[in-house]
């Protein structure tokens, strides 16, 4: 009798388990938190990484070959336009400038001598011309001979030739003086190039040379930037860069955590073939007190807002190659592909695939499309 009851109890237990399993499989619907999709607006924020840069970056070099004698600036220094940054050894250029100046002064003296000679030759020609006219008058009256007249004509011709030679000499001396003056200007310019001065107000970010180094034209001595024109060179994906316009406000977050206001200053129209990104330069509205060129930063460009069906970002997931959400329809979860629009980090605008009023599952992880569910509203987003 006891054995019979044991069998009955065992069969009863199995029946209960089968019933529970059947209920679980065919009738049980676990509760899931849902929210109704609704019409709304989502701020259009375009995000991208970047680095701090300056719109104006200058390499300070020399225009003549020479040895660096002394440096008056170092990296990290703020300098003003025209400030002396370095000096080259000017022994040779100073000597050449002095020699050229002396040659220019000597050529001026030569001009003065040639001018005096021309004045004398002009006076001799005027005297010979006066004598010729007087002798010509008395020759007509028969008071002097033909030989005397011929001598007066020869004297006039000689005086005229002397004046022409003196004028030519003066012209040559003037040309020599002009060339000497140009040589003096050139020598002074070369000597001035031994003084390396700041081309603008700015910050020296790199010093590439030391005292005693031999530098040549084009070799960098300093690198400096204009700190009044700082921006962040930001990389923006080409799929969203169409929303960006010059003048749009932005928020710049430096790696140290400080946030500063910015503004889109320039949009590069050349896309990187590898990353499919474009450079967008976002200028600082307030220059940070502490910064470093090439410092990493994150930029959020506030590109307006978009109307549409709004859902929580947590409801989105990827199934296969499609992005979408799970909606509750007739007590079952159903995958719904959606085409998304802008997102503010918490909410997303669904441009296609959803209608306002549909129940969207907030946390779809672990829920399969087609499974029974029981929608529960008011869950955390």
Question: Per residue of the chain (381 residues), what is the pLDDT tens digit?
Answer: 556 655 656 555 555 454 444 444 444 678 888 888 888 888 888 889 999 999 899 999 999 999 999 999 999 899 999 999 999 998 888 888 888 888 888 888 888 888 888 898 888 888 888 888 888 888 887 788 888 888 888 988 988 888 889 889 888 888 888 888 888 888 888 888 889 999 999 999 999 999 999 999 988 999 999 988 899 999 999 888 888 999 999 999 998 888 999 999 999 988 888 889 999 999 999 888 888 888 999 999 998 888 888 888 888 888 888 888 888 888 888 898 988 877 777 888 888 888 888 888 888 888 888 888 888 886 544
Under 8 Å between Cβ of 222 and 68: no
What pLDDT is attached to residue 3?
65
Q: Calculate the CA 51 to chain-centre distance.
A: 12
Q: Which residues contact 163 (CB under 8 A, 6 or more apart)?
A: 118, 121, 122, 124, 125
Q: Shortest CA distance to 357 belongs to which of 36, 115, 13, 131?
A: 36
Q: Characterise 247 by phi-psi region: left (phi > 0), alpha (psi -120 to 50), beta (else).
A: left
Predicted TM-score of the model (pTM): 0.60
What pLDDT is attached to residue 381?
44
What pLDDT is attached to residue 5?
55
Under 8 Å between Cβ of 348 and 313: yes
Q: Shortest CA distance to 293 belongs to which of 238, 380, 230, 368?
A: 230
Q: How far is CA 146 from CA 128, 132, 152, in A?
A: 17, 13, 10
Angle formed by the axes of helices 91-140 and 146-192, to 10°?
160
Strands (E), 208-354: 214-215, 222-225, 230-237, 249-254, 259-267, 277-284, 296-312, 317-319, 322-329, 332-337, 339-343, 347-352
Token pair for 237: 């994906």
Separation CA 161–CA 167 (nearest Å)? 10
What pLDDT is attached to residue 2?
57
What pLDDT is attached to residue 19?
46
């Amino acid at each position: 009798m006891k054995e019979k009851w044991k069998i009955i109890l065992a069969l009863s237990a199995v029946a209960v388990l089968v019933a529970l399993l059947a209920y679980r499989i065919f009738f049980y619907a676990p509760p899931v938190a849902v929210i109704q999709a609704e019409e709304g607006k989502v701020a259009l924020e375009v995000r991208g990484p970047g680095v701090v840069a300056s719109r104006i970056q200058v390499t300070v070099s020399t225009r003549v070959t020479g040895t660096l004698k002394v440096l008056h600036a170092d990296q990290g220094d703020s300098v003003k336009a025209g400030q002396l940054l370095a000096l080259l050894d000017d022994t040779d250029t100073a000597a050449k400038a002095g020699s050229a100046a002396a040659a220019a002064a000597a050529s001026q003296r030569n001009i003065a001598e040639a001018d005096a000679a021309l004045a004398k030759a002009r006076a001799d020609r005027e005297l010979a011309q006066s004598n010729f006219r007087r002798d010509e008058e008395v020759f007509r009256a028969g008071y002097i001979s033909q030989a005397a007249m011929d001598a007066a004509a020869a004297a006039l011709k000689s005086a005229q030739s002397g004046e022409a030679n003196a004028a030519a000499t003066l012209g040559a001396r003037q040309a020599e003086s002009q060339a000497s003056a140009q040589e003096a200007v050139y020598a002074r310019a070369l000597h001035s190039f031994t003084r390396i001065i700041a081309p603008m107000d700015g910050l020296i970010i790199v010093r590439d040379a030391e005292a005693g180094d031999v530098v040549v034209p084009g070799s960098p001595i300093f690198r400096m930037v204009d700190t009044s024109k700082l921006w962040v060179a930001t990389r923006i994906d080409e799929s969203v860069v169409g929303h960006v316009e010059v003048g749009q406000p932005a928020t710049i977050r430096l790696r140290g955590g400080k946030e500063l206001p910015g503004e889109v200053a320039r949009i590069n129209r050349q896309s990187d073939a590898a990353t499919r990104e474009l450079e967008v330069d976002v200028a600082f509205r307030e220059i940070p007190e502490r910064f470093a060129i090439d410092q990493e930063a994150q930029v959020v460009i506030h590109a307006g807002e978009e109307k549409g069906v709004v859902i929580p970002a947590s409801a989105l997931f990827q199934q296969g190659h499609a992005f979408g959400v799970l909606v509750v329809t007739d007590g079952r979860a159903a995958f719904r592909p959606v085409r998304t629009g802008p997102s503010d980090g918490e909410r997303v605008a669904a441009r296609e695939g959803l209608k306002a009023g549909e129940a969207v599952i907030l946390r779809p992880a672990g829920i399969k499309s087609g499974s029974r569910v029981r929608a529960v509203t008011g869950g955390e987003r």
